[in-house]
Amino acid sequence: MAFTIAKFCAAQPATTDPDVLAAIQALAESYKTLVAGIVYEQPPAMAPQHELYDALAAFLTETKQQPDRVSSGPIRDSELFQLLVFLFRMGLLRTNGRPRSRRFIEFLRGQFPAAPELKREESRIIVP
């Protein structure tokens, strides 16, 4: 899930830490109500937050439907809720609270150094 967030933020450079945290929080609230037996979603209204919310929801439904998880059993919604809470709390610890902060995003990118999708574009400035 962290790789999905990092990949989305690499493709959308305007995404900030508050956007990521809002999307994770909205998805966690959706799974909290789902664990209680109520199907209720309230995706964020802002565009980058809503797009990340959709990307994470698609990733989670795809992951839950993979047949290779038969040996360990299906992923329960309560486990996904706990994972989302963990990511949200980790994001709160890693960000500095500023509106344009990207510290949490950079932390996630740093966790996958060999991923070609997360490589930064080389500088176009020519240094003599």
pLDDT at 70: 53
- What's the predicted TM-score (pTM) here? 0.86
- Percentage of the residues of the chain whose pLDDT score is greater than 90: 66
Let me know how long the chain is.
128
Confidence of residue 67 (pLDDT cuts 50, 70, 90): low
- pLDDT, position 69: 54
Report the pLDDT averaged over residues 12-25. 95
